[in-house]
Amino acid sequence: MEYRTLGKTDIQLPVITFGAWAIGGWMWGGTDVRAAEEAIHAAYDEGITAFDTAPVYGQGLSEEILGKALQSYPRDRVQILTKYGMRWDLEKGEFAFLSKNNAGKEIKIYKYAGKESVMKECEDSLRRLKTDYIDLYQIHWPDSTTPVEETMEAVQRLIEQGKVRAAGVCNYPVPLMERALSVIPLASNQVPYSMVRRDIEQDIVPYCLAHQLGILAYSPLQRGLLTGKYQPGHVFREGDTRPDTPYFKPENIKRINAFLDKIRPLAQDKGVTLSQLVIRWTVQQPGITVALVGARDAHQAKENAKAGTFTLSTEELQKIETAYQQLSLV
């Protein structure tokens, strides 16, 4: 496994980092706790020592599963990345959306990152994760009701207390990153990025490169679409939100599959799977520190890890780019 330094910190992360959204079940049609724990252990065995989660993933379930599983390893051998700023238990801040929890009950999700809320969320996460510090603490989404400066001052306080090692943001545009940097030394920005979703290349990537900020790319497989296993008309489990996204429109699935057919021979020639090729492409793009990849069972975790064991040549990267330039989504 290849490891990289996160921004200006001394935190080393595997280029393939475990994304723990899916194991929380929320928006993924439920979870199998035993399989999730096996996925975590399999990932660690393959050199994936970093795990990215959030309280809202299953309303605490993802963090609890991680907290239990990671007790098997020395704390300084794993990197725990979690978030704050999305509340389902407090109607305050910026209303985000209505959702359903794993029990099928409708819940309201709010974006809120006021100082006291951040401090409380940290304590709750530490308890669920069964640890006394968090390696990277990230605001999950911008909160328009709270000044960025207030939020970052709270995280700075947590760093001073030894409860957090480094501060990160997620889904932050450049102007908000600038405001955050005026208060605290940011380590990274976590943003969506994949072969078919590249908008961050316009401004966020150049800004992070110029300021030595890490980029944690989430959904590099576009929530599984870039595995090539989905066809138009696929029936998802109840509670799975993927059909509501533009990438999973039947026509886009068709066009993306045609794109994947063009690059599939590259994977076959290298003796890797299409998913591994896609993930590897992601971590070889300028500015990208790691790719966050989910796994719901041990097999998926092992397969994901292999993307950190080979490289793509300049010629191979160019062939992928040529195929991408011919892709047009609706």
The answer for residues whose C-beta is within 8 angstroms of residue 136's C-beta and 6 or more apart is: 6, 11, 79, 80, 81, 82, 164, 165, 166, 167, 168, 187, 188
**Nearest CA to 296 among 4, 31, 8, 89?**
31
CB 294 within 8 A of CB 20: yes
User: Catalytic one among 44, 57, 112, 230?
Assistant: 57
**Any idea which residue has 């929320």 for tokens?**
26
Residue at token pair 């870039």? 226
The radius of gyration of the chain from alpha carbons, rounded to an integer in Å, stands at 19
Measure the CA–CA gap between 9 and 186, rounded to whole angstroms. 9
The type of residue at 255 is R
Could you tell me where the beta strands, DSSP code E, fall in 248-303?
A: 290-294
Strands (E), 201-254: 214-218
Query: Residue 214: helix, strand or coil by DSSP?
Result: strand
Backbone phi and psi for residue 137, each to the nearest 5 degrees, phi listed first: -110, 120
d(CA 74, CA 220): 29
Q: What is the dihedral of CA 218, 137, 84, 302, to 10 degrees?
A: 40
The answer to whether 57 is a known catalytic residue is yes
Structure tokens at 128: 């669920």
Q: Give 309's DSSP letter.
A: S
Query: Could you give the CA distance from residue 196 to residue 162 in angstroms, rounded to a whole number?
Result: 39
Give catalytic residues, as residue numbers.
Answer: 57
